[in-house]
């Protein structure tokens, strides 16, 4: 029989192994392609002595796949299966999907449904415009909140103190137009709270401007709708009209979600 001390030590080892496996999967999710054990050691700090066993286990479980020489790895199909299961089981997604289709039909622009996760927004559903030439997002993609209209719409739901605690000390620029000043960001969030919608022009993607509105079914709101608009297809007045349509669509979507008991 193991003693309580031995059980506690075993549990600590198990938790450490689980944490390292999660860190590896997150490293693969952030990478553009294949990664070697050396790459993983450098990016995660996982000891080389532990990497082989962890990688072998994740490959066997389908979370990773490896190349023929067993020297490089990338995410496996199990990651997609679990990610899809999240969307399949989220009760808000079917309602949001119908709203996105209506917004796309009314505006002619690509429409998105996203959720704030910490300091990032995660795209949960997209309806691409038939004339879109810019791949702005795909399901599962994450972007920093401060560089997107979706993120600004959701940051505006928080207090200034909450925003300050949530964001990193330095706001890295995604493009030359990304707003990286905390003072200017707070001014922008104040405008969002006043108007009910957020906007950005080429802050996240060159050639694209976006407008967004939070969906009022949770307090504070966690989800938002947006439209991506090629900069050469709309001026400020056009973007404002789309934003006002989004506010109405988000308000109606929030009403439907609350009526369905979805929180």
pLDDT tens-digit series, residues 93-142: 999 999 999 999 999 999 999 999 999 999 999 999 876 655 556 788 89
CA–CA distance from 134 to each of 33, 103, 236 (Å)? 22, 18, 19
pLDDT score, position 140: 87
- Tens-digit pLDDT profile for residues 143-159: 999 999 999 999 999 99
pLDDT tens readout for residues 164-185: 999 998 999 999 999 999 999 9
Give me the chain's average pLDDT, please: 92
pLDDT given for residue 227 in this prediction: 97
Q: Which of 158, 172, 75 is nearest to 116 (CA)?
A: 158
Amino acid 1: pLDDT:
45
Spell out a b/e string for 10-43, using b for 16 or more CB atoms within 10 Å of the CB, else e: eeeeeeeeeebbebbbebbeeeeeebebeebeeb
Q: How far apart are CA 211 and CA 219, in angstroms?
A: 21
Nearest 10 degrees: CA dihedral of 232, 235, 239, 240? 180
- pLDDT one-digit tens code per residue, 210-230: 999 999 999 999 999 999 999
Which DSSP category does 261 fall into?
T
pLDDT for 15 = 83
Of 245 and 9, the one with more pLDDT:
245
Q: Give percent above pLDDT 70 in the chain.
A: 92
**Which 8-state DSSP code applies to residue 157?**
T
Cα-Cα-Cα-Cα torsion 138, 144, 145, 146, nearest 10 degrees, comes to: -130
Q: What is the average per-residue pLDDT within 233-246?
A: 97
Which domains does the chain show, CATH number per domain?
Answer: 4-80 (1.10.10.10), 90-259 (3.30.450.40)
- Give me the pLDDT at residue 10, please: 47
pLDDT band at 14 (very low <50, low <70, confident <90, very high): low
pLDDT at 7: 47
What is the pLDDT at residue 134?
Answer: 55
State pLDDT tens for residues 40-62. Answer: 999 999 999 899 999 999 999 99
**Which long-range CB contacts under 8 A does 17-25 form with residues at least 24 apart?**
17/50, 17/54, 20/44, 20/46, 20/50, 20/54, 21/54, 21/57, 21/58, 24/54, 24/55, 24/58, 25/58, 25/63, 25/75, 25/79
Instruction: Report the first-to-last Cα separation within the chain, whole angstroms.
Output: 46
Tell me, what's the pLDDT at 232?
Answer: 93
């Amino acid at each position: 029989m193991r003693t309580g001390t031995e059980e506690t030590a075993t549990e600590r080892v198990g938790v450490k192994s689980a944490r390292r496996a999660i860190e590896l999967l997150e490293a693969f999710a952030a990478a553009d392609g294949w990664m070697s054990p050396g790459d993983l050691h450098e990016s995660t700090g996982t000891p080389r002595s532990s990497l082989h066993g962890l990688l072998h286990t994740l490959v066997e479980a389908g979370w990773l796949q490896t190349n023929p020489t067993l020297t490089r790895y990338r995410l496996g199909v199990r990651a997609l299966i679990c990610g899809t299961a999240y969307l399949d089981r989220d009760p808000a997604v079917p309602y949001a999907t119908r709203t996105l289709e209506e917004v796309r039909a009314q505006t002619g622009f690509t429409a998105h449904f996203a959720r704030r996760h910490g300091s990032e927004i995660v795209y949960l559903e997209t309806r691409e415009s038939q004339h879109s030439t810019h791949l702005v997002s795909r399901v599962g993609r994450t972007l920093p909140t401060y560089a997107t209209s979706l993120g600004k719409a959701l940051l505006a739901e928080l207090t200034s103190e909450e925003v300050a605690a949530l964001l990193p000390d330095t706001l890295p620029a995604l493009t030359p137009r990304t707003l990286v000043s905390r003072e200017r960001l707070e001014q922008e969030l104040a405008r969002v709270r006043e108007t009910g919608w957020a906007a950005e022009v080429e802050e996240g993607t060159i050639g694209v401007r976006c407008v967004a509105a939070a969906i009022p079914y949770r307090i504070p709101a966690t989800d938002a709708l947006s439209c991506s608009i090629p900069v050469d297809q709309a001026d400020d007045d056009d973007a404002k009209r789309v934003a006002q349509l989004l506010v109405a669509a988000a308000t109606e979507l929030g009403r439907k979600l609350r009526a369905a008991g979805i929180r």
